[in-house]
Amino acid sequence: MGELRGTHVPVLLERCLELLAPALDRPGSTVHVDATLGLGGHAEAVLEAHPRTTLIGLDRDTEALAHARARLARFADRVHLVHAVYDELPDVLDRLKVPAVDGILFDLGVSSLQLDEPDRGFAYKQDAPLDMRMDQTRGTTAEDVVNTYAHPDLARVLRTYGEERFAGRIASAIIRERERSRITSSARLAELVVEAIPAPARRTGGHPAKRTFQALRIEVNKELAVLETALPAALDTLTVGGRMVVLSYHSLEDRLTKAALADRARTRGPVDLPVELPGTGPTFRLLSRGAELPGEAEVTANPRAASVRLRAAERIDPDAERREGAGRERYRRRVRAMHQGVGLTKGSSVDPGSVPDDGRTTDEEEGEGS
């Protein structure tokens, strides 16, 4: 392996560590999964902060794994690095004979290594072969997509994954070009996109090719399909008290993350019952109110953090929540009876401190960040 390629400034590092700490600081040994290891910045900080934690690091990029292995060499006795996509986490845990984990981090999107090195084909400002595969050992390349997809399919990819309003025009320009010669260069593709977009639209919203390159990258790596499967599977691997943190970098990722966490944080029982029925209560609680954004200082120090959205959740015991809910309901009934003058003998009293407050709220997005 040569010198480290790319630079990595971990995004929202302190906040990630703060959110994961209660799960990883519990008595005994704990297990943390970095589902998107990259160059290992977040993983290194977790291992330094939690000397009794074992790390399982996944990445589909073999080059990133090699660099992360070198970076984390001093922790080798408590590190397992695996060449895998994050939707393969349950299989990885089975192979390692790990029944459950305490912490999980997803740092989604393209890594610093992939973005900084022109030969990977992710950057629209540098010329390179049109690859865009995060795992260069397998799969379809961006060159395959732009040269083989029919117009409707190409336009759909650009519109859905890039939220590109000129998707049809760009797809037409690509097809006209490939009829003359195969498109193999990232620079040529960027030129085609710029030429296809009306001049007034080019002056706002950053580089005109940004959305097209994002869309192709997502299509090549099947990122959203993988994430949609991976999030619920990862949540299922957490122990009670375990925590998951997800860093998203565009609205499509964040939407899937929000839906997956909200689904586990809501009750499934009838809304008009005073207490949760067994098996119907929430299994997770949200740790932030909506998506957390980076501060101005973070964006100044690391411009790539500008678009990040953080969401986090903790696994809870629904039966314990149900028992606490039943206790609170019994207390409320005693209070009502006291005010109505029935059910309590003279001199009876109710101690509000005898009923624990679990901090529940009717706001689905309420959490630690409030």
Residue numbers in the known binding site for S-adenosyl-L-methionine are 40-42, 59, 86, 107, 114
Q: Which residues are annotated as a binding site?
A: 40-42, 59, 86, 107, 114
How far is 170 from 183, CA to CA, in rounded Å? 14
Residue 55 structure tokens: 């790390």
